[in-house]
Amino acid sequence: MTVIEQVGCRVGSRWRQKIETSWMPYILLAPTLILLLAVVGYPIGVAFWMSFHHLDLLRPNPTPKFVGLENYAEMLSRPDFWSAVTRSAIYTIGASMAAFVLGLAVALLLNERFPLRRLFRTAFMLPWALPLVVSALTWKVMLDPQTGVINDLLRWLGIVEQGPMWLQSADWALPAVMLIDVWKDFPMAALFLLGGLQAIPIELYEAARTDGANAWQRFRHVTWPGLFGVATILFLLQSVWIFRRFTTIYVLTAGGPAKATETLVIQTYIEAFRNYELSYASALGVLTLLVTLGFAGLYKRLLRGKGADL
């Protein structure tokens, strides 16, 4: 073998090694990335493009017309948009906090030793395991003002003489939907927090008892600091899940009555598929996506900062 051939073999070997070490992960991920771009990236790109155009589907042969930021200006000037923002904030924060508090209480209970603890650890995950549509339809039957078991139970306990119109009342519809989401999401919160509890060294509790700390002081100075990293990320994730949730509200109320449960996600659907305002709905969708990306960026930052504590 000549010197030139030897040099060529060495160069080729180095290039193959470089490709295997630096480009091979991207080559292996390429099919998945292409699929994501086709299924997710393309619709998002179309939504961005449509949000800067106007398309009237009620006219024959509709043609998109570039309007710049007109859809966004209209969105910010409409009172129903700000009402949906307010409802989305109440719905997201209220349901997330309630699910977190209930999940924390269940996690603290399941972290103790008692008979049939393993059975309870399995059974409490049932609400989370059920599909959203099944859960929503089940609760819709239970909350029926005439035949639902919830009002029957309230009347039997003597709490009310006539149960409220849960999903048919503008005052009760949003709290009822939030209650169902809390029931759906608290098992996952409890599972996250239970894992965090079991990661706290038992020696810290023993030292706190030796110093004479009561149950509240042990929770305040040992349990909560040990859970803070997990709790912060969990609450952020729950907020994203509930903010983007469509199925529960749509199955139960479809945004009614009188727009009492019309969040940003539901309003986007109504504008697109009922009012045929695809351009305005695209602007709403882009805003929702930006809010979700903001949550995701905050989650990534918190995960990076708290990673050593998790």
| Second-level CATH architecture of 70-306 | Orthogonal Bundle (1.10)
Inter-residue contact 189 to 182 (CB < 8 Å): no
Q: Write the CB contacts of 104 (distance below 8 Å, at least 6 apart in sequence).
A: 189, 190, 193, 227, 231
- Tell me the pLDDT tens digit for each residue of 29-85: 888 888 888 888 888 888 899 889 888 777 767 788 888 889 999 999 999 999 999
| Radius of gyration from C-alpha coordinates of the chain | 26
Nearest in space to 304 (alpha carbons), one of 240, 244, 232, 223: 232
Strands (DSSP E) contained in the chain are 53-54, 65-66
Q: For residues 252 and 257, what is the distance between their CA atoms, to the nearest angstrom?
A: 10
Q: How confident is the model at residue 308 (pLDDT cuts 50, 70, 90)?
A: very low
Q: Domain residue spans in the chain?
A: 3-51, 70-306
Rounded to the nearest 5°, which phi and psi values hold at 54?
-125, 130
Is the pLDDT reported for residue 7 higher than 50?
A: no
Nearest in space to 258 (alpha carbons), one of 192, 187, 169, 140: 169
Question: Considering the entire predicted model, what is its pTM?
Answer: 0.82
Inter-residue contact 145 to 165 (CB < 8 Å): yes
3-state secondary structure of 123: helix
